[in-house]
């Protein structure tokens, strides 16, 4: 191509450059949304104090790999570990997402006596369960966690419907690990039940009280 030919090529317009940039960004976001991260909102008090009603969390879909595949460390993946806070499809209704903490891994024997969790006969240290959320009269098990399943509990043991009620979670229902709170707003505990006019009123209320009811100190904090 000669110098004359090079000069004959018309430069991209600013509109075209912006359009191409936006398309690329949208494609990246859609890829991340489908394969890397998803976002979810906490609707109940079952994970207090780790997660509060109105916390908006990011979920890492990449960390564990796909169900049935072996995670690859060189891709930044690993197996599910005890203590991970994970999001999964509810076994009794897979259209609903739940978030709980992994307590029992495949092959573990899990038991609860007077509120204390025992895994393979040893008491489990649980600093994430606050004294006011402890359930001293709780008994469960012992039961062995089946292969490719997990035993899940909420951190708020006194107000959590978890594996004690509906059983073990199969690996195929696990969506990813909750790792980051990107926004937090102090909502009413029953806000997620509102529909129709009540839902519109709730949205208007959030806009009005956004500055005062936003938990600014929880924004951009990690989930442990």
pLDDT of residue 92: 93
pLDDT of residue 31: 46
- Could you report the average pLDDT of every consecutive run of 10 residues in the chain (224 residues)? 51 60 49 59 92 94 87 90 96 93 98 97 96 93 96 95 96 94 88 82 86 93 94
Query: Domains in the chain, please, with CATH?
Result: 13-106+148-222 (2.10.109.10)
Phi and psi at residue 102, to the nearest 5°: -75, 125
pLDDT of residue 29: 46
pLDDT digits (tens, 9 = 90+) for 118-175: 999 999 999 999 999 999 999 999 999 999 999 999 999 989 999 999 999 999 999 9
C-beta separation of 135 from 157 below 8 A: yes
pLDDT of residue 15: 64
Catalytic hit among 40, 41, 46, 52: 46
Rounded CA-CA distance 200/105 in Å is: 42
Catalytic hit among 41, 52, 100, 175: 100
pLDDT of residue 25: 47
Q: Comparing C-alpha atoms, which of 209, 219, 194, 182 is closest to residue 57?
A: 182
Question: For the residues of 118-183, what is the DSSP string, one character each?
Answer: EETTEEPP-TTS-GGG--TT--EEEEEPPTTEEEEE-S-GGG---HHHH-PEEGGGEEEEEEEEEE
Q: Is 100 a catalytic residue?
A: yes
Q: Is 13 a catalytic residue?
A: no
Q: pTM for the complete prediction?
A: 0.81
């Amino acid at each position: 191509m000669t110098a004359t030919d090079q000069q004959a090529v018309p430069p991209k317009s600013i509109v075209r450059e912006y359009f191409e940039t936006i398309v690329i960004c949208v494609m990246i976001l859609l890829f991340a949304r489908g394969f890397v991260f998803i976002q979810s909102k906490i609707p109940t008090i079952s994970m207090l104090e780790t997660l509060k009603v109105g916390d908006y969390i990011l979920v890492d879909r990449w960390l564990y790999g796909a169900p049935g595949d072996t995670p690859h460390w060189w891709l930044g993946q690993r197996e599910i570990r005890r203590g991970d806070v994970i999001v999964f499809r509810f076994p009794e209704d897979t259209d609903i997402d739940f978030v709980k903490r992994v307590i029992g891994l495949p092959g573990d024997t899990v038991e609860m006596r007077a509120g204390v969790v025992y895994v393979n006969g040893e008491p489990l240290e649980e600093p994430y369960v606050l004294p006011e959320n402890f359930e001293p009269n709780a008994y469960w098990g012992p039961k062995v966690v089946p292969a490719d399943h997990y035993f899940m509990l909420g951190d708020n043991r006194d107000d959590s419907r978890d594996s004690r009620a509906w059983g073990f979670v199969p690996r195929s229902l696990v969506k990813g690990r909750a790792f980051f709170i990107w926004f937090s707003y102090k909502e009413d505990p029953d806000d997620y039940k509102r529909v129709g006019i009540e839902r519109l009123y709730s949205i208007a209320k959030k806009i009005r009280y956004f500055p005062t009811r936003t938990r600014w100190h929880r924004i951009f904090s990690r989930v442990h």
